[in-house]
Amino acid sequence: MRTQYSRAFLLPAALLLASLAACSGGGGGGSSSAAPSPTPPVVDAGLSQAARLGELIFKDQSLSASGKQSCATCHSPDCAHGPTNNLSAQLGGANGDVQGFRAAPSLRYLNQNPAFFFAKDGTPTGGIDRDGRAQSLAEQAERPFLAPHEMANASKQDVIDKLKKAPYVEQFRAQFGAAILDNAEQAFSRMTFALQTYQLEDTEFHPFDSKYDQFLAGKVKLSDQELRGLALFNDPTKGNCIGCHTSARGANGAPPLFTDFTFDNLGVPRNKKLAATADPAYFDLGLCGPDRTDLTARTDLCGAFKVPTLRNVATRQTFFHNGAFDNLKDVVAFYVRRDTNPEEWYPTGADGVVQKFNDLPPQYRKNVNTTEVPYNRQPGMAPALSPSEIDDVVTFLGTLTDGYKSNP
Ligand code: HEC
Ligand code: HEC
């Protein structure tokens, strides 16, 4: 999104290029043009054998049609298990030139993500993927191997034929049975089980060692600006971010996950960088389809997407389900200025009318959340956060990055 407001925040070109080179979280990563160098298959000694196999599979590029893509390509351990670049959607397929439909999420803290359910008051909650359609990490892991825009194998048999040539194939047999590879269906389900076990077991996916965690534990202090940002994040009349992104420890002392795993419709602008949007009839409606198919009749849920964790969000270069935003400051500004200054975010039609919520068909625009703070505003009203308060919230979000060292 380029808007009047965001232009004020554009970095000088040189800095911008530097920031595109890798996620800002850890040293590694790649750029949007060059493929990142593969992480060497060093496995964690503390893991079960199934989890270790899961790690080898997770990082094995030979299991893709291109031979150049693994789970770690889009979910890099060096970038909080998120993408290394600023592409709205990653590229996959046999030649690495097929664009996906959604921004690749971080895989951190999904070990606490419940399976999908409707809460007592009817609130859709949980589930894996941005539309909650997969019931488990194992079920989720099936699709990337076969999706034409991802690892693009022709069939499960195709994947198992590749697995047979992997350097760890004997370990796989030893773990799951000597004859396991004779049955592609069963072997494939062991692969996805191993991937799930790896994501659940390896604390690299849920280290709880951000500056904010250390602050909650009384080990470090937050700066004045970080504390101001936290207060605005929590204030029900200002950011009200805690309405969906929980920031306080649970009753049992459990660290906050910065998501309540519910779904919401934010009316995120249409992203023209997604090739699919060239078709004016294409809409990604989240809970009600097209990827998810069991809730198509629930038109009240069209446009709702899962609340993602905000842990490690400062390491990302693309935001929201459709990757419509490329910097955090714009995201926070969008929350508070969407309704006071819609012309900053949505195109204006030939009739001079701002096409608010233009990534939804007109009949579903009423589903967008316009009642909760900070969305409960009208043009002419003051945004819930001033520009300097937006800066404070962005600075606070920087404390949610894993691996904080107080004495580097
Ligand atoms: C080409 C990029 C790409 C590759 C390769 C890829 N993913 Fe993903 N991953 C995505 C995208 C995009 C999504 C969001 C999908 C959606 O919401 O429908 C996603 C979603 C997920 C999720 C759900 C996250 C959440 O917040 O609920 C998990 C778990 C996951 N991927 C694991 C894997 C595993 C395991 C592999 C390897 C077998 C893999 N991914 C390969 C791009 C990729
Ligand atoms: C009513 C629920 C709700 C409230 C309140 C809310 N959010 Fe969100 N947030 C969401 C949902 C849902 C998404 C994902 C939307 C999508 O993908 O289209 C999201 C996504 C985000 C993202 C992008 C994360 C990513 O990985 O792409 C950021 C950053 C964010 N929120 C920050 C905030 C801040 C800061 C506030 C307070 C000013 C806030 N949110 C208030 C529901 C909420």
Q: What is the DSSP string of 26-48?
A: SS----SSSPPPPPP----TTS-
The answer to whether residue 18 is domain-embedded is no
Residue 150 sits in a domain of what CATH number?
1.10.760.10
Q: Among the atoms of ligand 1, which is closest to the Cα of residue 321?
A: 17
User: According to the model, what pLDDT value does residue 46 have?
Assistant: 87
How many angstroms separate the alpha carbon of residue 142 from the centre of ligand 1?
Answer: 10
Q: What's the number of domains the chain is made of? A: 2
Q: Is 141 in the pocket of ligand 1 (CB under 6 A)?
A: yes
**Closest ligand by atom to 307 CA:** 2
The answer to whether residue 1 is domain-embedded is no
Examine the fold and report which residue of 186, 205, 224 is the final residue of a domain before the chain moves on: 205
Q: Among the atoms of ligand 1, which is closest to the Cα of residue 103?
A: 12
Measured from CB, residues less than 6 Å from any atom of ligand 2 are: 239-241, 243-245, 264, 266, 268, 305, 307-308, 310, 313, 316, 319-321, 328, 331-332, 335, 369, 372, 374, 393
Considering the domain architecture, whether residues 37 and 79 belong to the same structural domain is answered as: yes
Query: What is the SS3 string spanning 50-93?
Result: HHHHHHHHHCCHHHCCCCCCCHHHHCEHHHCCECCCCCCCCEEC
Residue nearest to atom 12 of ligand 1 (CA): 104
How many angstroms separate the alpha carbon of residue 245 from the centre of ligand 2?
Answer: 7
What DSSP string runs through 321-371? TT--B-SHHHHHHHHHHTTT-GGGTSPBPTTS-B-TTTTS-GGGGGGS--S
CB atoms within 10 A of CB 339: 21
Give the burial string for 66-78 (b: 16+ CB within 10 Å, else e): bebbbbbbbbbbb
The answer to whether residue 21 is domain-embedded is no
Considering the domain architecture, whether residues 201 and 75 belong to the same structural domain is answered as: yes
The answer to whether residue 63 is domain-embedded is yes
Q: Is 90 in the pocket of ligand 1 (CB under 6 A)?
A: yes
The answer to whether residue 98 is domain-embedded is yes
How many angstroms separate the alpha carbon of residue 406 from the centre of ligand 2?
Answer: 28
Q: Is 75 in the pocket of ligand 1 (CB under 6 A)?
A: yes
User: According to the model, what pLDDT value does residue 7 have?
Assistant: 29
How many angstroms separate the alpha carbon of residue 352 from the centre of ligand 1?
Answer: 39
Residue nearest to atom 43 of ligand 2 (CA): 244
Examine the fold and report which residue of 205, 233, 254 is the final residue of a domain before the chain moves on: 205
3-state secondary structure (DSSP) of residue 283: coil
List per-block mean pLDDT (blocks of 10 residues) for the chain, which spans 408 residues: 32 37 48 42 76 98 98 98 98 98 98 97 98 98 98 98 98 98 98 98 97 97 98 98 96 95 98 98 98 98 98 98 98 97 96 97 97 92 97 98 87
**Closest ligand by atom to 268 CA:** 2
Considering the domain architecture, whether residues 80 and 221 belong to the same structural domain is answered as: no
Q: Among the atoms of ligand 2, which is closest to the Cα of residue 393?
A: 35
CA 398/CA 321 separation, integer angstroms: 21
Considering the domain architecture, whether residues 36 and 180 belong to the same structural domain is answered as: yes
Residue nearest to atom 35 of ligand 1 (CA): 141
User: According to the model, what pLDDT value does residue 251 have?
Assistant: 87
Considering the domain architecture, whether residues 119 and 226 belong to the same structural domain is answered as: no
The answer to whether residue 297 is domain-embedded is yes
Q: Is 128 in the pocket of ligand 1 (CB under 6 A)?
A: yes
The answer to whether residue 193 is domain-embedded is yes
What DSSP string runs through 148-210? TTTT--S-HHHHHHHHTTSTTHHHHHHHH-TTGGG-HHHHHHHHHHHHHHHHHH-GGG----S
Considering the domain architecture, whether residues 311 and 186 belong to the same structural domain is answered as: no
Considering the domain architecture, whether residues 152 and 222 belong to the same structural domain is answered as: no
Considering the domain architecture, whether residues 257 and 323 belong to the same structural domain is answered as: yes
**What secondary structure letter does DSSP report for 223?**
P
Considering the domain architecture, whether residues 87 and 233 belong to the same structural domain is answered as: no
Mutate to test the pocket of ligand 2, among 320, 358, 389, 391 (most ligand atoms within 8 A of CB): 320
Q: Which domain holds residue 364?
A: 211-400
Residue nearest to atom 5 of ligand 1 (CA): 71
**Closest ligand by atom to 130 CA:** 1
The answer to whether residue 2 is domain-embedded is no
Examine the fold and report which residue of 170, 185, 205 is the final residue of a domain before the chain moves on: 205
- Tell me how far CA of residue 146 lies from CA of 64, 93, 105, 155, 402, in angstroms: 9, 10, 19, 6, 31
Q: Is 140 in the pocket of ligand 1 (CB under 6 A)?
A: yes
User: According to the model, what pLDDT value does residue 38 have?
Assistant: 46
Mutate to test the pocket of ligand 1, among 75, 81, 312 (most ligand atoms within 8 A of CB): 75
Mutate to test the pocket of ligand 1, among 59, 70, 74 (most ligand atoms within 8 A of CB): 74
Considering the domain architecture, whether residues 112 and 158 belong to the same structural domain is answered as: yes
Residue nearest to atom 23 of ligand 1 (CA): 129
Considering the domain architecture, whether residues 215 and 200 belong to the same structural domain is answered as: no
Considering the domain architecture, whether residues 224 and 201 belong to the same structural domain is answered as: no
Q: Note the Cα 338 to chain centre separation in Å.
A: 21
